[in-house]
Amino acid sequence: MTTKYDVLIIGAGMSGMAAGIRLAMFGKTVCIAEMHSLPGGLNSFYQRGSRKFDVGLHALTNFVKKGTKGHPLSKILKQLRIRYDSLQLKEQKSSKVQFRDLEINFSNDIELLISQVAKNFPEEVDGFLELIKNINIHKDLLPSKDFKSARQFVGQYIKNKMLEDMIFYPILFYGSSTEHDLDVNSFIILFQSVYLEGFSRPMGGVRTIIDILLDKFNALGGELRYRHKVEKIVTKNSKVQGALLNNGEMIEADYVISSIGYPETMSLVESQQVTTPAVGRISPIETIFIFDKKPAQCDIDSTIIYYSNQDRYNYQKPTTAIDETSTSICLPNNFSDCEYDEGVIRLTSLANFDLWDSFKSTEYKAQKQKVVEHSLETLKAVMPSLNGELKFQDVFTPKTIKRFTGHMAGAVYGSPDKLPDGLTGIENLLLCGTDQGLIGIVGTLLSGITISNMHILTRDWKG
């Protein structure tokens, strides 16, 4: 059987849905093929009993107040025709980076971070202000194709290596596909989205965003097929023809936009000359705890804590199953409002995909239990006042991520080889999402929008 569309999109993650909405809005016939039975991809959700959980979402970065002009958040809202209020954003209280006992707090007001740097690293504050000034001059920056070191850029302003690591921690953690360092453009984009804009959480979690996107896409007449895996991207003379699905169906399309990653996409193309992009090394493991008390009842007010038990932060694939030196702890109850009536705590650490992939079932279970114990110990060290009763626990591993999202090696931030222009080298086969180089919910939504605008809508329109 063959069906024909203007555009076939592979994957119903954030970027795929955004691309679908844009294209359907301007009259394209669009089909999204999603292998999973749920939308959202890396930012999905699941349910255990009556409890609802988010898979990705610690925080929606890029927070700005309603009416603030010229920021990525307002850009995507306009492009997707979404009302600000419908996201029901609840701001973070404040978050902190904590290395052993030294902590630096930050919030959606950059002044807090500046005052914290002044207090803890008085000799660095002038440099820090200068750094902010030099980041502020950039607007609408795109990820660059050639890697330039962000460490080198920041080193011009910050001399203290511990402070440097503290600044880098949330940034690397929310969006670097490369270890230790990242490209300077990506650093600037993420610095703006984390420190100069800020964190919020939609009431209801990531579902709130996904529901809005799905409603839009459906209302525009888009077609979304769950449990339809693309097995092969079909090309002829280096031009895309469509794709073959796991049910044997051939979908013909003028354009194919893939959101599944660069190496993942190329592995589906049957051709001798395709490139083989590198597979990313960064994959997380997450423990979710539910307590009968909310953190605030135990005098814990931080929204996210980026913790390291060293003076430095090692953002790299650990040689052990889990990186035991650092964990980021997200407390969704500590956004200004939250629907959870129990205390929810999520601990996310870097993990080694190969090891998790090699564990056989009993070993896998035992290793997961070890992670739970390690997470409880970390909680004791970081928040000794926490005293609720543990009601529920769950762990997802790099292997879970690979299984549910198809990302090779469970690499959440994709390949270190990015394609900022989305062009794969095969005519009309475009890449959007993580491996275009924009990361996170806001980043990947923007990616789906930009790739559709740049290569299909405007091209079309220019004739």
Partner 1 sequence: MEMNTEVVDVRKAVVDIISDIALDEDLSEINDGASLRDQLDLDSMDFLDIVMELKKRYKVEVPSEDYPQLATLESCVRYLSPKFCQ
Residues forming contacts to ligand FAD in the complex (CB under 6 A) are: 10-16, 33-36, 41-43, 56-61, 229-230, 259-260, 284, 286, 348, 401, 405-407, 412, 433-434, 439-441, 444
Residue reference for tokens 């995507």: 76
| DSSP letter (8 states) at residue 298 | G
Contact between 74 and partner 1 per CB under 8 A: yes
In angstroms, give the least distance from the CB of 212 to partner 1.
12
Residue 55 exposure: Cα atoms within 13 Å on the Cβ side:
24
Answer for which of 44, 79, 95, 452 binds partner 1 (CB under 8 A) is 79
Backbone angles phi, psi at 434, to 5 degrees: -40, -50
Contact between 26 and partner 1 per CB under 8 A: yes
The DSSP code sequence of 304-367 is: EEEEESSSS---S--SSSB-SSEEEEE-GGGBS--S-SSEEEEEEEEE-HHHHHH--HHHHHHH
**Residue 245: contacted member of partner 1, ligand FAD, none (CB under 5 to 8 Å, by partner type):** none
| b/e code 136-145 from CB counts within 10 Å (16+ = b) | eeeeeeebee
Task: Report d(CA 30, CA 220) in Å as an integer.
Answer: 10
Contact between 78 and partner 1 per CB under 8 A: yes
In angstroms, give the least distance from the CB of 12 to ligand FAD.
5
| DSSP letter (8 states) at residue 254 | E
Residues within window 394-423 making contact with partner 1, judged by CB under 8 A: none
In angstroms, give the least distance from the CB of 439 to ligand FAD.
5
Q: At what angle do helices 14-25 and 72-80 cross, to 10 degrees?
A: 50
Task: Report d(CA 46, CA 44) in Å as an integer.
Answer: 7
Closer to partner 1 by Cβ: residue 163 or 449: 449
- Specify whether the CB–CB gap between 93 and 299 falls below 8 A: no
Closer to ligand FAD by Cβ: residue 107 or 259: 259
Count the neighbouring beta carbons within 10 Å of the beta carbon of residue 109.
Answer: 12
Contact between 221 and partner 1 per CB under 8 A: no
In angstroms, give the least distance from the CB of 24 to ligand FAD.
17
In angstroms, give the least distance from the CB of 80 to ligand FAD.
14
Task: Report d(CA 461, CA 334) in Å as an integer.
Answer: 46
Contact between 83 and partner 1 per CB under 8 A: yes
> Which range in 65-73, 154-162, 219-227, 407-415 contacts partner 1 by CB under 8 A?
65-73
**Residue 439: contacted member of ligand FAD, partner 1, none (CB under 5 to 8 Å, by partner type):** ligand FAD
Contact between 77 and partner 1 per CB under 8 A: yes
84-123 mask for partner 1 (x: CB under 8 A)?
xx--------------------------------------
Answer for which of 69, 122, 248, 361 binds partner 1 (CB under 8 A) is 69
In angstroms, give the least distance from the CB of 342 to ligand FAD.
20
**β strands within 59-131, DSSP E:** 89-91, 94-99, 102-106
**Residue 49: contacted member of partner 1, ligand FAD, none (CB under 5 to 8 Å, by partner type):** none
Contact between 75 and partner 1 per CB under 8 A: yes
- Alpha carbon 75 to chain centroid distance? 18
**Residue 42: contacted member of ligand FAD, partner 1, none (CB under 5 to 8 Å, by partner type):** ligand FAD
Nearest CA to 295 out of 340, 263, 334 is that of 334
In angstroms, give the least distance from the CB of 41 to ligand FAD.
2
**Residue 13: contacted member of ligand FAD, partner 1, none (CB under 5 to 8 Å, by partner type):** ligand FAD
Contacts of 228 (CB under 8 A, 6+ apart): 33, 34, 35, 245, 246, 247, 249
In angstroms, give the least distance from the CB of 160 to ligand FAD.
27
Task: Report d(CA 206, CA 45) in Å as an integer.
Answer: 7
Binding site for partner 1 (CB under 8 A): 26-27, 66-67, 69-70, 74-75, 77-79, 81-85, 140, 449, 453, 457-458, 461-462
